[in-house]
A and B are shown apart, each in its own frame.
Chain A
């Protein structure tokens, strides 16, 4: 089995965009995603409405571990789905990519750095 480098892609998106990003990822062939709610601020130091500054803006974090060569395509997919229609707006989010050393599937107990191919081999 080829040893593929795996990458963790973490995308922080608007909560209302999470569903469309999930759908876009599913259509693009990335079924495995984990999502959780986060709160944070960006370069704009939060939003100022009147006298009040909100610097803990609720966002959704989507995490997916994919193969090295798919990263570019996945990022493009997320970008297109998460961007506010047209040119985009402040607060659309960020995408971070970090290397992953190992991936283990608990149900089979094996260390698979290429989970997709192995599934096809055993199916």
Chain B
């Protein structure tokens, strides 16, 4: 079992949900979050800040600007990890900085509350 955490753009949520449903991943958990990346920001703002325009410096801020993102979390079986990641990349890729990240974490166990099933069959 693997947990896949994807941080994606807000406006690609619907496409992502549809695409994931098509490959058979119906269950997921989503919430809003804010984040910053490696610091690749708008070139214009950077240029303005280096020329000393105060508005541009204020936009950059000293703690880095946080952008609104959507975080998707899903726990899938091992054989599903690859198709899910492929789908997530295909639906969310624009090629510009800010498209997001996908993290794959190991999950040691899972349980279905309704039936009390424990182990891999709880997430099928």
A: residues with CB less than 8 A from B are 6, 8, 19, 22-23, 26, 31-36, 65, 98-109, 115-116, 119
A32/B105 in contact, CB under 8 A: no
| 8 Å CB contact of B37 from A22, A32, A103 | A32
B99/A31 in contact, CB under 8 A: no
B7/A34 in contact, CB under 8 A: yes
A32/B63 in contact, CB under 8 A: no
A115 to B39, CA, bound (A): 13
| B98 proximity list for chain A (CB < 8 A) | 107
| A23 proximity list for chain B (CB < 8 A) | 62-63
Q: How near does chain B come to A76, taking the closest CB pair, in angstroms?
A: 18
| 8 Å CB contact of B63 from A19, A99, A105 | A19
Place the interface of chain B in its size category: 35 or more
With A99-B105, A103-B101, A107-B99 as known contacts, state yes or no: A36 contacts B71, CB within 8 Å: yes
B105/A36 in contact, CB under 8 A: no
| 8 Å CB contact of A104 from B39, B102, B106 | B102
Q: How near does chain B come to A35, taking the closest CB pair, in angstroms?
A: 5
- 0/1 per residue, B87-116, Cβ < 8 Å to A? 011001111111111111110000000000
| 8 Å CB contact of B88 from A8, A106, A119 | A106
Which residues of B23-53 have CB atoms within 8 Å of chain A's CB atoms? 31-39
B103/A100 in contact, CB under 8 A: yes
B35/A8 in contact, CB under 8 A: no
Q: How near does chain A come to B20, taking the closest CB pair, in angstroms?
A: 14
